Amino acid sequence: MIASVADDVARTLARVDVAAARETYWRQGEFLVLERLFPESLAARWLDEVARVRPAIHRNYIPKHKKGGSVSHHTLRAEAPSILALYHAPAFTAFIRAITGRDAKPCPVRDPHACALYFYTEPGDHIGFHYDTSYYKGVRYTVLLGLIERSSSRLVCQLHRREPSRTPVDLSLATEPGTLVLFNGDTLWHAITPLGDHEERVSLTLEYVTDARMNPLKRFVSDMKDAIAYFGFRQVFARARGDAISRSATGKGGPF
Ligand SMILES: [Fe+2]
């Protein structure tokens, strides 16, 4: 089954005009959207795993910045093999490299953001404008994949904000199931607008980095930010020590 996820991902990406996508990515200041890239059959497998990990959602509220839920890489490694299969699919990593022109790789296992789900399930859930700042020595790329979109929330972005010679461009996007967004986290200024009543939005993010080294001070800042703003101290620091805190019946982590 996992091999078939990787194969299906490869088949999907083989249909993409990579040269055109690369040109668009760079023309838009390292930002690319491919609407409904992945077919419903693949998204359905990922949605099964979204349902499975819902009991593990960790919710956070930081006034004036964010409100919402997340499920970390550590939980997904234990319970979401089809999502992890996408993250590590050779064709997918090759695609990221082909678009960005850089030798990006999946982030280290200890990184709770490496492959994580973000749940907007309660009225007002949102995240304010920010960059996905890389604490790594290398460039970090974010892939955002829409999985559930039954909301008036939008991914709002400003392109070219850090390019003085270019005019900023504002965008507002619904991330429908299977839609892929790829960007350089240090260049895209972006937010998710607040969820309305009786709405739901779930997205997956995958992070790739060109150099995964990190100095100890940045490591500490990154861990604290992840613990407070996203996943909780237990997820972040137990994993940083290498403890096993899987919720799975076997108590073992995933294959990656
Ligand atoms: Fe972000």
Tokens of 13: 């990406």
C-alpha 163 to ligand 1 mean position (Å): 19
C-alpha 132 to ligand 1 mean position (Å): 5
pLDDT in tens, 40-75: 999 999 999 999 999 999 999 988 889 999 999 999
56/231: higher pLDDT = 56
| Closest residue by Cα to residue 147 from 110, 184, 201, 104 | 201
Which of 13-17, 70-74, 116-120, 220-224 shows the lowest per-residue confidence on average (mean pLDDT)? 220-224
The amino acid occupying position 22 is R
C-alpha 76 to ligand 1 mean position (Å): 19
| Interacting residues of 209 by C-beta distance below 8 A, sequence separation 6+ | 104, 105, 107, 134, 136, 138, 139, 140, 141
| Interacting residues of 220 by C-beta distance below 8 A, sequence separation 6+ | none
C-alpha 134 to ligand 1 mean position (Å): 11
Q: What residue ranges do the domains of the chain occupy?
A: 2-238
Q: What is the pLDDT of residue 227?
A: 84
Asked if residues 75 and 193 have their Cβ atoms less than 8 Å apart, the reply is no
Q: Quick one: pLDDT band at residue 239, thresholds 50, 70, 90?
A: low
C-alpha 131 to ligand 1 mean position (Å): 6
Helix H, strand E, coil C: the string for the chain is CHHHHHHHHHHHHHCCCHHHHHHHHHHCCCEEEECCCCCHHHHHHHHHHHHHHHHHCEEEEECCCEEEEEECHHHHHHHCHHHHHHHHCHHHHHHHHHHHCCCCEECCCCCCCCEEEEEECCCCCEEEEECCCCCCCCCEEEEEEEEEEECCCCEEEEECCCCCCCCCEEEEECCCCCCEEEEECCCCEEEECCCCCCCEEEEEEEEEECCCCCCHHHHHHHHHHHHHHHHCHHHHHHHHCCCCCCCCCCCCCCCC
C-alpha 120 to ligand 1 mean position (Å): 14
> Which top CATH class is 2-238?
mainly beta
pLDDT in tens, 23-43: 999 999 999 999 999 999 999
Asked if residues 10 and 38 have their Cβ atoms less than 8 Å apart, the reply is no
pLDDT at 253 over 70: no
Predicted TM-score (pTM) of the model is 0.89
